[in-house]
Amino acid sequence: MQIDFSRSIVDIVLDHGNSVPDRPALIFDQGDGPQSSLTYAQVAAQVGQLAGAMAARGLAAGGLAAGGLAGPRIALLFSAGTDFALALLACLAVGGVAIPLAPVGRRKARLRNILNMLDDIRPDCILLDDGMAGLFGEELSAALSAGPVRYLEFAALAAESHAFSPLALAPVRLAVLQFTSGTTSNPKGVMISHGNIIANETMIRAAFGHDRDSHFVGWVPHYHDQGLFGNILQPLFLGSTCVITSPAAFINRPMSWLQLISRYRAHTSGGPNFGYDLCVDHATRRGMPDGLDLSGWRVAFNGAERVRPATLDRFAECFADAGFDRRAFLPCYGLAESTLVTIAVPPRSDPIVKSYDSRALAAGRAVESAGGDAVLDLACCGPAMAGAEARIVDPETGEALPDGAVGEIWLRGPHITAGYIDNPAATEASFGRLDEGGPFLRTGDLGFSTADGFFIVSRLKDLIIVRGRNHAPSDVEQIWSELSGTVGQASAAAVEIEMGDAQHIVLIAEMKRDDARSLSDEKLQDLAARLRATAMERLELAITDLVMVPASAIPRTTSGKVQRKQAGRMLMDGELTVLGMAGPLAQAFAPSGQRASA
Q: What is the CATH number of the domain that holds 531?
A: 3.30.300.30
Please give the pLDDT value at position 64: 44
What are the C-alpha distances in Å from 218 to residues 26, 197, 346, 468?
Answer: 11, 19, 21, 43
Question: pLDDT 10s digit of each residue in the chain, 598 long?
Answer: 999 999 999 999 999 999 999 999 999 999 999 999 999 999 999 999 999 999 999 998 864 443 457 899 999 999 999 999 999 999 999 999 999 998 866 566 678 878 888 888 889 999 999 999 999 999 999 999 888 999 999 999 999 999 888 888 999 999 999 986 554 445 689 999 999 999 999 999 999 999 999 999 999 999 999 999 999 999 999 999 999 999 999 999 999 999 999 999 999 999 999 899 999 999 999 999 999 999 999 999 999 888 989 999 999 999 999 999 999 999 999 999 999 999 999 999 999 999 999 889 988 999 998 777 678 899 999 999 999 999 999 998 999 999 999 999 999 999 999 999 989 999 999 997 766 677 899 999 999 999 999 999 987 777 787 765 678 898 899 899 888 877 556 589 999 887 766 789 999 999 887 788 888 999 999 999 999 998 888 887 899 999 999 988 999 887 778 899 889 989 988 899 999 999 998 876 653 333 344 5
Please give the pLDDT value at position 56: 94
Cα-Cα-Cα-Cα torsion 194, 200, 201, 206, nearest 10 degrees, comes to 150
Tell me whether residue 213 is in a domain. Answer: yes
Q: Does residue 385 share a domain with residue 288?
A: yes
How would you write 281-319 as a 3-class SS string?
HHHHHHCCCCCCCCCCCCEEEECCCCCCHHHHHHHHHHC
pTM across the whole model: 0.84
DSSP conformation class of 193: E
Tell me whether residue 4 is in a domain. Answer: no
> Among 128, 123, 126, which Cα is nearest to 158's?
128
Please give the pLDDT value at position 485: 79
Q: Which of 460, 475, 501 is the last residue of a domain?
A: 460
Please give the pLDDT value at position 65: 42
Packed helices 521-539 and 473-484: angle between N→C axes, nearest 10 degrees = 130
Evaluated on CA atoms 442, 444, 450, 454, the torsion sign reads negative
Tell me whether residue 267 is in a domain. Answer: no
What is the number of structural domains in the chain?
A: 3
Q: Does residue 244 share a domain with residue 314?
A: no
Q: How far is CA 118 from the centre of its chain?
A: 21
Please give the pLDDT value at position 165: 85
R_g over Cα of the chain: 24
Q: Could you tell me where the DSSP H helices lie in 57-106?
A: 82-93
Q: Does residue 455 share a domain with residue 524?
A: no
Tell me whether residue 456 is in a domain. Answer: yes
Spell out a b/e string for 176-199, using b for 16 or more CB atoms within 10 Å of the CB, else e. bbbbbbbbbeebbbbbbbbbbbbb
Please give the pLDDT value at position 117: 84
Q: What range defines the domain where residue 470 resides?
A: 464-588
Classify residue 112 by burial, with Cβ atoms within 10 Å: 0-12, 13-18, 19+.
exposed
Q: Which of 219, 252, 285 is the last residue of a domain?
A: 252
Contact 114, 63 (CB under 8 A): no
> Among 297, 385, 377, 298, which Cα is nearest to 334's?
385
What are the C-alpha distances in Å from 386 to residues 35, 60, 97, 344, 346?
Answer: 38, 35, 28, 10, 11
Q: Does residue 145 share a domain with residue 27?
A: yes
- DSSP percent split of the chain into helix, strand, coil, nearest 5: 35, 25, 40
Tell me whether residue 263 is in a domain. Answer: no
> Among 341, 283, 315, 284, which Cα is nearest to 488's?
315
What are the C-alpha distances in Å from 327 to residues 48, 259, 274, 346?
Answer: 41, 20, 19, 10
Tell me whether residue 259 is in a domain. Answer: no
DSSP conformation class of 107: H
Q: Which of 252, 286, 305 is the last residue of a domain?
A: 252
Q: Could you tell me where the DSSP H helices lie in 209-293?
A: 225, 233-238, 247-252, 254-264, 273-286
Q: Does residue 310 share a domain with residue 363?
A: yes
Tell me whether residue 58 is in a domain. Answer: yes
State the DSSP H helix or E strand holding residue 165, giving kind and residue range, or none if neither.
Answer: none
Residue 253 φ/ψ region, left for φ over 0, alpha for ψ in the -120 to 50 degree band, beta for the rest: beta
Contact 252, 28 (CB under 8 A): no
> Among 420, 230, 482, 468, which Cα is nearest to 332's?
230
Tell me, what CATH number does 97's domain have? 3.40.50.12780
Q: Does residue 39 share a domain with residue 112?
A: yes
Contact 414, 195 (CB under 8 A): yes
Q: Identify the three-state secondary structure at position 367.
A: coil
Q: Does residue 248 share a domain with residue 224?
A: yes
Tell me whether residue 266 is in a domain. Answer: no
> Among 512, 510, 522, 496, which Cα is nearest to 576's?
510
Q: Does residue 175 share a domain with residue 31?
A: yes
Please give the pLDDT value at position 593: 36
Q: Does residue 318 share a domain with residue 223?
A: no
Evaluated on CA atoms 341, 345, 347, 348, the torsion sign reads negative
Q: Does residue 52 share a domain with residue 32?
A: yes
Q: Does residue 558 share a domain with residue 503?
A: yes
The maximal CA–CA distance of the chain, rounded, in angstroms, is: 73
Q: Does residue 209 share a domain with residue 351?
A: no
Q: Identify the three-state secondary structure at position 273.
A: helix
Rounded Cα distance between 332 and 230, Å, is 12
Residue 362 φ/ψ region, left for φ over 0, alpha for ψ in the -120 to 50 degree band, beta for the rest: alpha
